[in-house]
């Protein structure tokens, strides 16, 4: 192996090796193991295996070799695990997620059937021209379905907490990177499959590690803070927290900050963001954004009543809204009329 080849192998292998280790961590060692984390681990494992296989195919001096002759049948699981991971994160209440085991079992049966009926070793050319193409198309279908879920969820969750903006950004990066890899593996000639492994390494370190080492994002995306997930907060404690929250909102007026996050408020109350969301959801039936927007709208109504010289845009800014359109939309939904109509009263 020449010097250039060694460099290519290093950059292609480093991301694959680390991603396999991290996928195993999410599957087996991330205690307590969260359901969505385990799905992500399986997706990352099979995607890493595909990048590894392309690396071995490019650098192996023996064709076929002991590893590659088994066939790329495991590629069939990349799409399904990606789709169910996205569903488990963005649509936790979806009935679809409850059937994930049967869905994966179906593809296990299909994979075993293909392996025994059309062994890769018997006719590699047939595999590459037909079965591998079909698996790539299957992967693309699941990828497009995941993208659809992402944008449908964006429409549904407009009034949820900043958790959704952080998670949507992660899922968007994940799907974008996966689409880039799919494009390479589908269109690039087999002789240049090393490009897929190197791209995988670059994307892995660019996207995954960026989020993984930022505590704020990782706590929301990979959900390690789940010790309260199945236990309702005691009513007395919840009432105490709500009283502290009301005092903080009234005295400090943090809602006037357009970039206010649930993490900021939770830090003031000395609780986790999960506990804050749980208190608001269980005791008030509200999301963090809805709770804060109520204060912002009341502030806007007060400004309109006390000083009509303000422009409506300035009123929105003073109240904590980061855009005129958001202010108008939220005001009309909560008050039943536009800010202009409300202002006419005074």
pLDDT of 343 above 50:
yes
Kindly report the average pLDDT of the chain as a whole number: 81
What are the CB-based long-range contacts (under 8 Å, 24+) for 18-25? 18/204, 19/44, 19/47, 19/48, 19/51, 19/200, 19/204, 19/208, 20/45, 20/48, 20/49, 20/52, 22/208, 23/48
**pLDDT value at position 233?**
76
157 vs 303: which has the higher pLDDT? 303
Query: pLDDT tens for residues 26-75?
Result: 888 765 557 888 899 999 999 888 888 877 766 665 555 555 556 788 99
**pLDDT value at position 151?**
87
Least confident residue range of 8-12, 74-78, 79-83, 269-273:
8-12
pLDDT band at 225 (very low <50, low <70, confident <90, very high): very low
Rounded (5°) CA angle 342-344-346: 95
Q: What are phi and psi of 67, to 5 degrees?
A: -85, -50
Structural domains present in the chain: 3-221 (1.20.1070), 235-344 (1.10.10.60)
Q: Is 103 exposed, middle or buried (0-12, 13-18, 19+ CB in 10 A)?
A: middle
pLDDT of 300 above 50:
yes
- Burial profile 36-63: b = 16 or more Cβ within 10 angstroms, e = fewer: bbbbbbbbbbbbbbbbbbbbbbbbeeee
Contacts of 198 (CB under 8 A, 6+ apart): 8, 11, 12
Residue with tokens 């659809």: 148
CA distance 171 to 165: 10
pLDDT of 228 above 50:
no
Query: pLDDT tens for residues 152-201?
Result: 876 555 444 444 567 788 888 889 989 998 998 888 776 555 676 777 77
Among 244, 248, 310, 323, smallest CA distance to 279 is for 244
CA distance to 14, 62, 119, per residue, from 68 (Å): 20, 10, 12
pTM for this one? 0.62
**pLDDT value at position 160?**
46
């Amino acid at each position: 192996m020449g010097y250039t080849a060694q460099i290519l192998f290093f950059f292609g292998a480093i991301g694959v090796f680390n991603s396999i280790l991290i996928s195993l961590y999410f599957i087996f060692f991330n205690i307590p193991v969260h359901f969505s984390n385990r799905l992500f681990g399986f997706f990352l494992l099979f995607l890493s295996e595909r990048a590894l296989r392309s690396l071995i195919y490019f650098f192996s001096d023996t064709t076929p070799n002991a590893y590659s002759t088994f066939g790329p049948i495991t590629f069939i699981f990349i799409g399904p695990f990606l789709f169910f991971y996205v569903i488990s994160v963005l649509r936790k209440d979806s009935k679809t997620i409850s059937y994930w085991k049967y869905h994966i079992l179906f593809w296990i049966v299909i994979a075993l059937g293909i392996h025994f009926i059309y062994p890769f070793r018997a006719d590699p050319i047939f595999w590459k021209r037909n079965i591998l193409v079909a698996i790539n198309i299957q992967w693309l279908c699941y990828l497009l379905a995941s993208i659809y879920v992402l944008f449908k969820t964006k429409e549904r969750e407009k009034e949820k907490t900043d958790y959704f903006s952080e998670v949507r950004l992660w899922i968007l990066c994940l799907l974008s990177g996966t689409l880039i890899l799919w494009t390479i593996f589908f269109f690039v000639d087999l002789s240049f499959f090393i490009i897929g492994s190197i791209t995988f390494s670059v994307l892995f370190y660019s996207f995954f590690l960026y989020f993984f080492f930022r505590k704020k994002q990782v706590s929301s995306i990979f959900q390690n803070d789940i010790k309260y997930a199945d236990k309702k907060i005691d009513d007395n404690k919840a009432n105490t927290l709500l009283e502290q929250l009301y005092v903080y909102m009234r005295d400090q007026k943090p809602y006037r900050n357009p970039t206010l996050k649930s993490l900021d408020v939770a830090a003031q109350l000395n609780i986790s963001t999960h506990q804050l969301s749980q208190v608001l959801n269980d005791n008030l039936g509200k999301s963090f954004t809805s709770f804060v927007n109520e204060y912002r709208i009341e502030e806007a109504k007060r400004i309109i009543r006390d000083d009509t010289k303000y422009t409506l845009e300035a009123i929105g800014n003073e109240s904590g809204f980061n855009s005129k359109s958001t202010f108008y939309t939220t005001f009309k939904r909560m008050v039943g009329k536009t800010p202009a109509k409300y202002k006419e009263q005074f």
